[in-house]
Structure 1
């Protein structure tokens, strides 16, 4: 993965007050309204937690053990909440849409490709934490 491109592109779209992740949730709920009831918390709090998680993943890209352990554990919690494998694709799609919207003309195809690769890897590690490690759990 291109860590430098991920860091640079995130810095270019990381708005104050968790604006990127707030916008992500707006897009997610617009495109996939059926998932909104899964979020019982104030989305502002959820957005702050998501931003923290994204930064932590980028900070630990070179630490396979950290990624496997932490994302697997996060995946297990998501499985318990009823998150299914196709939802990870929706999340990736909506996160990149929010980034591209905020980035405007400065957002590039290379940035989209780098984030697609990163979010796919994150989803795979999270799905590996599902009971039995079955990436098709909940389908």
Structure 2
């Protein structure tokens, strides 16, 4: 990722953070729509899961300027998710739901350039997580 892309991701996430509860609800609604097979993996309160999602995103977005600072936690998270039944193919669905959610939350501020920046950030992190969890490159 370029420094400009990192700045774009961080600035846009700051705009979504105030509506984090709604963003998380949009995300899970979209995820379950495009990948209904993952819904049974979520056994607890989806609002609590949404808080965890936004919290994790906040840490990752803040850590983009020093990616090595977030990679150990990303590795642990990826390996942990295998136990829930998460497969490498699910990462694409999560990415699609994330980008869709950001587009909904940011409205007119969602541009092709911002789409590219977020896609790059997600590809970097998800590729690393897939390699860590499954031992294969994305």
Q: TM-score, normalised by structure 2?
A: 0.89
* Preserved CA contact (<8 Å) 2:6 2:65: no
Equivalent-residue separation in structure 1 for 2:103 and 2:20 (angstroms): 18
Give CA deviations for 1:60-96 in whole Å, capped at 9, x if unaligned: 1133332221111111001121111110000000110
The count of residues paired between Structure 1 and Structure 2 equals 135
State the match for 1:64 in structure 2: 67
Aligned partner of 1:54 among 57, 60, 83: 57
Q: Runs of at least 4 residues of structure 1 off by over 6 A? A: none
**Aligned residue runs from structure 1 range 1-139, under 5 A:** 1=1, 2-131=5-134, 133-135=135-137
Equivalent-residue separation in structure 1 for 2:79 and 2:22 (angstroms): 27
* Preserved CA contact (<8 Å) 1:96 1:116: yes
Give CA deviations for 1:77-136 in whole Å, capped at 9, x if unaligned: 0112111111000000011001111211221111111111111111112112215x2347
| Cα displacement (A) at 1:15 | 3.9
CA RMSD of aligned residues (A): 1.6
Runs of 5+ consecutive residues of structure 1 not aligned to the other structure: none
Q: TM-score, normalised by structure 1?
A: 0.88
Higher helix share: 2
Runs of 5+ consecutive residues of structure 2 not aligned to the other structure: none
